[in-house]
Amino acid sequence: MDSEYPACSQQMEIFDRVFPDGMELTYDNFELAKNEGLMLGWFIPHKMPYKLYDMIIKIMETSMLFMKEATYLIFDAEAIEMEKLKKSLSDENDVEKYNAKCDLVIEKYKIKRAKIREAYFDTMYYVSFEMLVAYGNDDGSIKEFEERIIARSDLVTNKPYACAKQLEKFEKYFPNGFIINEDNLKLANKLDFDIEWFISWKLEPKQISAIYQYYHMLLDQEDLLKDLYNRNRIFERTEQDEIFNASVRLTTSSDEKELRYNEHMDALDKIDEKYEAMLQELVNNRLNAQNLFALRMINAYGLLK
């Protein structure tokens, strides 16, 4: 209550009823708080120390990107379906029936967008909880820490050792050590460093379990976007097929028909290449977010000296 952004009376009533002696940071209490309607989305920006909140926001950038892109694609899909309904208006004599169809489309996409938002906020709450447990002190402050540096000795001191190729890359690109930050992690991913091997070696099973929980939450968002991408790919390929079929009907020679066919195949290849690149970017972004979360856990639990 004693802050610039005090909790509202309704939230305080829920908190006092559910956690009369205070809320210990446990998984069970975290789930109970969500189920009872406590607004974790309010707590995160207003109650967390800024430094911790800033780290959480950086970890969540990919999840936020997934949510925004999926939402835009859903809006596009809704617009296309509504446009088809409008075109059918001249053939639809029953206005009430037409309006009912429109309402069904609107409700369908409203539910889809709600699921997208829910997936994002579930992920945000989970990451925030894990980071608060890792970095938080009992008095509400966060632990003092410095950005740790992964040195070559960290890769070869204890088994399993890094392989020769990974060590060569490390010495070439990080001769003074790998400072755990967002920019270095992006570079490491581009260079195909085996970050997952390092994580599995440096983190305890409990933290590894948390990382993989986050991974699966991101994967759910990624799969949703993949479905939307594939839907759009099919739509673009179908449009291209229609263009090709129309152009073939106007051809007057076999040479011209062959030319149109080759142009058609080139266009299909470009569509596929575009979406394959988009799908690969999804995977890269998800791996980057997962690994950033893991390295923040390594920082928090002091597993590098």
What pLDDT, in 10s, does the model give residues 177-216? 888 777 888 888 888 888 878 777 777 788 888 888 899 9
Q: Name the more confident of 149 and 141.
A: 149
- pLDDT-derived band at 284 (thresholds 50, 70, 90) equals confident
pLDDT in tens, 80-111: 888 888 877 655 567 778 888 889 999 999 99
Specify the length of the chain in residues. 305
In terms of Cβ atoms closer than 10 Å to its own Cβ (0-12, 13-18, 19+), residue 54 is exposed
- Answer for the pair 161, 155: CB distance below 8 angstroms, yes or no: yes
- pLDDT-derived band at 304 (thresholds 50, 70, 90) equals very low
In terms of Cβ atoms closer than 10 Å to its own Cβ (0-12, 13-18, 19+), residue 33 is buried
Instruction: Give residue 116's pLDDT.
Output: 92
- pLDDT-derived band at 76 (thresholds 50, 70, 90) equals very high
Mean model confidence pLDDT for the chain: 84
pLDDT in tens, 1-23: 555 667 778 888 888 898 888 87
- pLDDT-derived band at 46 (thresholds 50, 70, 90) equals low
Q: Name the more confident of 143 and 168.
A: 168
What sign does the CA torsion over 199, 203, 206, 211 have? negative
Question: Please, which contacts does 228-231 make with residues 24 or more away whose CB atoms are closer than 8 Å?
Answer: 228/70, 228/73, 228/74, 228/77, 229/73, 229/275, 229/278, 229/279, 229/282, 230/275, 231/77
**φ, ψ for residue 31 (rounded to 5)?**
-65, -40
- Answer for the pair 178, 188: CB distance below 8 angstroms, yes or no: yes
Give start and end residues of each alpha helix (H) in the chain.
Answer: 9-18, 27-36, 40-47, 50-59, 61-87, 95-135, 152-156, 164-173, 182-190, 195-202, 205-249, 254-300
